[in-house]
Amino acid sequence: MFEPIILITTYIASTPENLWNALTDPEITQQYWSGTRIESDWKVGSKIIYRREGKITDEHTILEVEPFRRLSHTFHPVFIEEFRNESPSRVTFEIEAGGQVVRLTVIHDEFEEDSEVYHACSEAWPMLISSLKTLLETGKPLPDFDFEEE
């Protein structure tokens, strides 16, 4: 049986500390995540709230926290009804230092069969991770990509 998974690995000219801050500081997340503030106290069992223009778009629960190395949480978008009705999936960020470069691996798994969230995230994650990398390396995120202009 096919089990959908999203796996992205990228290399960023940064430090584990800077990457961790970019993943967990709402002032930074809103720069590369299309204005989304990711808010939590970053403790196992705590909630993570994704907030865009004051509205909650996602509600997650932290599963694992190892600062500067690993962060894992459930993933449950609530802003679209089809997404809200799915069971939460799981996202894990793995950070590994290598000299002046950091390897970031994003693993998004535990999707329901025929998951709409899987299809949406398959397109969104590469863009978000590219924007994060660009922000950390240049100080500016990627401009928003308008899919309607193709």
Query: Is residue 147 in some structural domain?
Result: no
* Residues spanned by the domain of 125: 6-138
pLDDT tens digits, 6-57:
999 999 999 999 999 999 999 999 999 989 999 999 999 999 999 999 999 9
Task: Report yes or no on 1 lying in a domain.
Answer: no
Q: pLDDT tens digits for 50-103?
A: 999 999 999 999 999 999 999 999 999 888 888 888 899 999 999 999 999 999
Give how far Cα 35 sits from Cα of 7, 26, 28, 137, 141, Å: 24, 9, 9, 19, 11
Q: Is 144 within the bounds of a domain?
A: no
Q: Is residue 14 part of a domain?
A: yes
Token pair 């799981």 in the structure block, residue:
90
- pLDDT for 83: 86
Residue 116 lies in a domain: yes
Listed residue (58, 37, 62, 64) closest to 120, CA to CA:
58
Q: Residue 68 sits in a domain of what CATH number?
A: 3.30.530.20
143 found inside a domain: no
Residue 124 lies inside a defined structural domain of this protein:
yes
Q: Give the number of domains in the chain.
A: 1
Cβ(78)–Cβ(58) under 8 Å?
A: yes
**pTM across the whole model:** 0.92
Considering the domain boundaries, does residue 148 fall inside one? Answer: no
What would the pLDDT profile of 98-141 be if each residue is shown by its tens digit? 999 999 999 999 999 889 999 999 999 999 999 999 999 999 98
Other C-beta atoms lying within 10 Å of the C-beta of residue 86: 18
Q: What is the pLDDT at residue 150?
A: 46
